[in-house]
């Protein structure tokens, strides 16, 4: 590696040299705010005779002594793209201004010194060679003397127009003077002697904001020669990037996809900020052959991921509908599992009906848990390992059995549990996306003509602000009971396209309304949710209860409980937060932080958990309630039975098994590790 101070103009003025932005670099993304700062700096130093040099940081490139057939030296820029591109745009603006002012000498000097290699082939003509899209834009700006508009949005065009507004006849010489004083640190790397990736990571740690996907792309491509880079990029990475995108929002989800891929690969969920590190650990070598071996399955699973993100890409209507439902529930944590199942369907390991039933089973599991209020943070670990329990010869049943074996906060709620919770749940108060999902699935169950409910609204049958006639029709006692206990429950809610007109009117008016022959009332509705309402003359407590029974029966058909038998002899592994009183019990084993540990005594577990977490992050032991609960001290003689956390600090361990479990649960909660300790009693 060679580093030295260099004048920017002299760097750009090198003869027969092309500055190549490799395909793995992120796009040019400077906005007006960065352009303004650079231009202000250039004008200020151009205007100040006391300043002879102004540093703008470093430019790092790989110099392999690569020459094209026509003798052009290629320098691969790995840091400094934004500044080089922006300075090139400034020179382009001055070049265009010189043409307008008919300054022939200035035209030739800028064009042949800073913009082009005069005698090179067309592909090597531009001194700066950006990635493909930007390369086309830069060529458009250079050759377009009529300022014809570019058809698509481009940062280069946008920033070119910004500079064109502020660099004018009165100040362009000042800008040129300022540019002549710009200095930077030139860092030249030799691929054979230096490690460009390690140097790039060091640069990234000092503030270059790149996503985990950006870092992975650089890791894959940076060590390759340009032709190999192009091959791997075009045949694999570019395709993966296009597939791992939410098309409606244009949101890039490559980092999430790689995280999900690594999750099902390793049965371990990488930290969102360490996906790149995990990728490097899993795929350590980067020859072209090895990269093709690594990236082929990743590309294959990206196809399935694309359909999970964009259900409209799935050709089969039934499967597409179920994926849309899963999207509504936002069960992204199920993607590692669903990608594997999708792959089995794609490979014809399972038939379409099995796949559809699995998609419905996942919804049933997640939605039932939502109804009874179980925590969602238990789901990621469940889906991370769920595919391990798949029996290829009894595919659907094996998944059902696995889910039914979950206990405590991970459990699959029974019919009794979910119906009891549903009876009283405030359905109106849940997130609109979930609410629409609930009503759409209820309404469209076994409906050959699917109802699009996007234009319908949730209607309170007994209104939120009822007309006085409701009290007359029901009596004050029943009126108050319904208002206090049933108002926002599913039995008092329906769908309507006439919510504003029905409003707070009496039930009979709502049922029979036919203003101007437009049939607004419930009895004219073709919706299943309104069928029962068309048959009754009032909506009292008894009618609400009767309607709930109808909805309950339909609910259990939509969100089914798996009809499989579980071998009860299978030992139960239970989250510590769901175990019974451990008094007089012995352990068979525990699973802590994904490691299975054989131990029999609760005291062993207590010691292991506390020492591990103290070693991992000691601060919470000092600045939370743990300090007092555990009697943390440096003087072990103050304790009845001291447990050494390390050579310096001790905590009390003279507790009953029950209290030790409570202390462990408190500690896990503070560390946000509630799902990290599974207990198996003897």
The strand ranges marked E within 382-438 are none
Q: What is the reported pLDDT for 27?
A: 79
- pLDDT tens digits, 423-460: 999 999 999 999 999 999 999 998 888 888 878 899 99
- Closest of 460, 461, 463 to residue 504, by C-alpha: 463
Decide if pLDDT at 69 tops 70: no
Interstrand relation of 677-681 and 128-129 (parallel, antiparallel or unpaired): unpaired
Q: Which residues lie across from 596 on neighbouring strands? A: 591
Q: Is the pLDDT at 287 greater than 80, yes or no?
A: yes
Kindly tell me if the per-residue pLDDT of 26 is higher than 90: no
Length of the chain: 682
**pTM tops 0.85, yes or no:** no
542-582 pLDDT tens trace = 999 999 999 999 999 999 999 998 775 545 788 888 787 88
Helix, strand or coil, per DSSP, at residue 51: coil
pLDDT classification of 205: cutoffs 50, 70, 90: very low
Tokens 């640069």: give the residue: 203
> Is the Cβ–Cβ distance between 621 and 630 less than 8 Å?
yes
* 472-478-480 Cα angle (round to 5): 95
Measured distance CA(96)–CA(111) in Å, rounded: 10
Convert the pLDDT of each residue in 470-501 to its tens digit: 999 999 999 999 999 999 999 999 998 887 78
3-state SS of 184-221?
EEEEEECCCCCCHHHHHHHHHHCCCCCCHHHHHHHHHH
Contacts of 600 (CB under 8 A, 6+ apart): 586, 587, 588, 682
Q: In whole angstroms, give the CA distance from residue 331 to residue 289.
A: 36
**Band of pLDDT at residue 118, cut at 50, 70 and 90:** confident
Closest to 483 in 3D by CA, of 541, 422, 430, 423:
541
């Amino acid at each position: 590696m060679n580093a030295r101070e260099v004048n920017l103009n002299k760097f750009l003025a090198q003869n027969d040299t092309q500055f190549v932005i490799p395909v793995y670099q992120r796009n040019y993304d400077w906005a007006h705010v960065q352009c303004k700062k650079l231009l202000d700096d250039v004008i200020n130093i151009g205007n100040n005779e006391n300043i002879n040099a102004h540093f703008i940081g470093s430019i790092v490139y790989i110099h392999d002594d690569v020459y094209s057939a026509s003798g052009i030296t290629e320098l691969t820029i790995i840091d400094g793209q934004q500044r080089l591109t922006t300075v090139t745009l400034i020179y382009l603006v001055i070049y265009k201004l010189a043409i307008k002012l008919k300054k022939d000498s200035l035209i030739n000097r800028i064009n042949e010194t800073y913009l082009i290699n005069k005698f090179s082939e067309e592909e090597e003509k531009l001194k700066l060679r950006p990635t493909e899209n930007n390369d086309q834009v830069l060529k458009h700006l250079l050759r377009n003397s009529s300022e014809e508009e570019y058809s698509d949005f481009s940062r280069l065009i946008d920033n070119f127009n910004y500079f064109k507004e502020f660099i004018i006849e009165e100040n362009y010489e000042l800008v040129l003077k300022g540019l002549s004083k710009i200095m930077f640190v030139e860092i030249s790397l030799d691929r054979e002697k230096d490690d460009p990736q390690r140097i790039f990571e060091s640069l990234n740690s000092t503030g270059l904001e790149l996503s985990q996907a950006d870092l992975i792309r650089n890791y894959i491509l940076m060590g390759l020669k340009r032709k190999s880079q192009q091959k791997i990029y075009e045949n694999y990475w570019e395709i993966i990037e296009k597939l791992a995108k939410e098309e409606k929002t244009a949101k890039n989800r490559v980092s999430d996809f790689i995280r999900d891929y690594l999750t099902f690969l390793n049965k371990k969920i990488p930290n969102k900020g360490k996906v790149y590190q995990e990728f490097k650990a899993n795929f350590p070598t980067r020859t072209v052959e090895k990269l093709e071996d690594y990236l082929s399955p990743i590309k294959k699973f990206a196809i399935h991921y694309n359909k999970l993100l964009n259900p409209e890409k799935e050709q089969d209507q039934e499967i597409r509908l179920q994926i849309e439902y899963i999207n509504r529930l936002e069960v992204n944590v199920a993607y590692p599992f669903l990608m594997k199942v999708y792959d089995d369907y794609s490979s014809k390991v399972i038939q379409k009906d099995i796949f559809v039933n699995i998609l419905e089973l996942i919804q049933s599991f997640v939605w039932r848990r939502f109804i009874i209020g179980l925590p969602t943070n238990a789901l990621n670990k469940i889906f991370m390992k769920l595919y391990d329990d798949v029996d290829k010869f009894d595919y659907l049943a094996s998944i059902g059995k696995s889910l039914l074996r979950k206990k405590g906060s991970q459990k699959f709620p029974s019919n009794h549990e979910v119906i009891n919770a549903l009876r009283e749940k405030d359905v109106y108060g849940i997130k609109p996306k979930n609410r629409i999902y609930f009503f759409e699935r209820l309404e469209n169950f076994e409906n050959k003509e699917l109802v699009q409910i996007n234009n319908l609204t949730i209607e309170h049958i007994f209104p939120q602000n009822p007309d006085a006639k409701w009290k007359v029709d029901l009596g004050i006692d029943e009126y108050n009971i319904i208002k206090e206990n049933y108002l926002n429950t599913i039995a008092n809610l329906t769908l309507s396209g006439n919510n504003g007109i029905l409003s707070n009117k009496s039930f009979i008016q709502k049922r029979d309304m036919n203003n101007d022959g437009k049939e607004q009332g419930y009895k004219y509705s073709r919706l299943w949710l309104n069928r029962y309402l068309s048959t009754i003359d009032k909506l009292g407590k008894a009618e609400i209860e009767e309607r709930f029974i109808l909805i309950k029966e339909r609910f259990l058909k939509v969100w089914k409980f798996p009809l499989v038998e579980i071998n009860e002899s299978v030992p139960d592994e239970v989250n510590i937060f769901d175990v019974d009183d451990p008094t007089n019990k012995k352990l068979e084993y525990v699973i802590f932080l994904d490691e299975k540990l054989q131990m029999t005594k609760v005291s062993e577990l207590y010691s292991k958990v506390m020492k591990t977490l103290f070693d991992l992050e000691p601060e919470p032991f000092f600045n939370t309630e743990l300090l007092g609960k555990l009697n943390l001290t440096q003087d072990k003689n103050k304790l009845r039975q001291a447990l050494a956390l390390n050579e310096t600090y001790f905590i009390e361990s003279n507790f009953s098994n029950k209290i030790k479990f409570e202390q462990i649960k408190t500690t896990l909660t503070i560390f946000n590790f509630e799902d990290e300790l599974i207990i198996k009693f003897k």
